[in-house]
A = this chain, B = another copy of it.
Amino acid sequence: MERGCVGIDIGGTSVKLGMFDEEGTLLEKWSIPTNRNQNGAEIIPDIAASVSRKLNQLEVNPAHLTGIGVGVPGQVSEDGMVLLAENLGWKNVPLMRELSERTGLPVCAENDANLAALGESWKGSAGHCHSMMFVTLGTGIGCGIVVKGQILTGVHGAAGEIGHMHAEDHMPEQCVCGKYGCLEQLASATGLRWMGERALERSTKPSLLREGEVSAKTIFEAAGKGDVLAVRVAEQFGKYLGKALADCTCVLNPEVIVIGGGVAKGGQIVLDYIEKYYRQYAYQPFGETKLKLASLGNDAGIYGAARLAITSESLIKQVQ
């Protein structure tokens, strides 16, 4: 390996790590558990030790590494301070400085959703595009935005918080954010389950969904078999999300929208329901935005972290 870098994705249960060359080839991938004891005080020492062991094992000279990129499930300031990462127990943790001191390598850090977007825009479904949104449909709805290879962060790091776009005027339940009718109350995995259970309660129709757990997975499986109630829920989901993404397109005019996260594991049928309504609401006078499923799966984060390490200006400054 001539030059390379390390991409790291810190999650609530495990830390994923990858050794990359500068072209973005993933040479080695491994993971360690996330130690959340004592407000996550051991996470950075654990990562530093694991990186050192791996460099020894692979006989990589640290001088050949551009640096380390790290994704964090929380808010990261521009100087690499983790302001808040509730799942790790972190508040005001100087991640960049501490990990750099422990490894002797330059470090840069960013929110994990943003890095997953950067990964997909570099080596995934949206490779080499002008601009893209990476929408993650999981417990909530996250989104990272990449324009000309740069992450769009927003002034407070809250760009891409599309889960809190207003989607429904008549929502009886409150969102975690305190508002009513947020997109992620309806079009996330949680929202699909809520809409599914509600559809069952309000109807006496037979449905495959009455036979077991109601989830994003079972809803799209049943919809694929023509189950009337499941199709109705999938249509509602597609309408809420397709309309919101059409509105996002008016703002950003991205080349590609990539759909990922747990819900997207349902595959093409999920994309089809979104795209049906997206096309109905989208304003596209000059050319169409492409909708695609994500392709890097759980590795999107480490790819994006590696890309950040290779391109980050803050990293370059430290090296000089």
Does residue A32 face the partner (Cβ distance < 8 Å to B)? Answer: no
Asked if A228 lies at the interface with its beta carbon under 8 angstroms from chain B, I say no
Residue from the set A131, A145, A163, A247 with the largest chain B CB neighbour count within 10 Å: A247
Q: Mark A145-182, 1 if CB is under 8 A from B, else 0.
A: 10100001111111111111110000000000101001
Number of copies: 2
Cross-chain contact B250 with A155 (CB below 8 angstroms)? no
Partner of A179, one of B131, B155, B283: B283
Q: Does A254 reach chain B (CB closer than 8 Å)?
A: yes
- In the complex, whether A212 has a CB less than 8 A from a CB of chain B is no
Nearest B residue to A154 via CB reads B253
The CA-CA distance from A236 to B162 in the complex, in Å, is 24
Q: Are A158 and B243 in contact (CB under 8 A)?
A: no
- Tell me if A27 counts as interface (CB < 8 A to partner B): no
Q: Which 10 A/B pairs are nearest by Cβ-Cβ distance?
A: A154-B253, A156-B286, A164-B283, A155-B255, A158-B253, A159-B253, A130-B155, A156-B287, A165-B247, A165-B250
Chain A positions within 8 Å of B, measured between CB atoms, are 75, 129-131, 145, 147, 152-166, 177, 179, 182, 243-244, 246-248, 250-255, 281, 283-287, 289
Given contact pairs A154-B254, A166-B281, enumerate 10 new A-B contacts (beta carbons under 8 Å). A129-B155, A155-B253, A156-B253, A156-B286, A158-B283, A158-B286, A159-B252, A161-B253, A163-B250, A251-B251
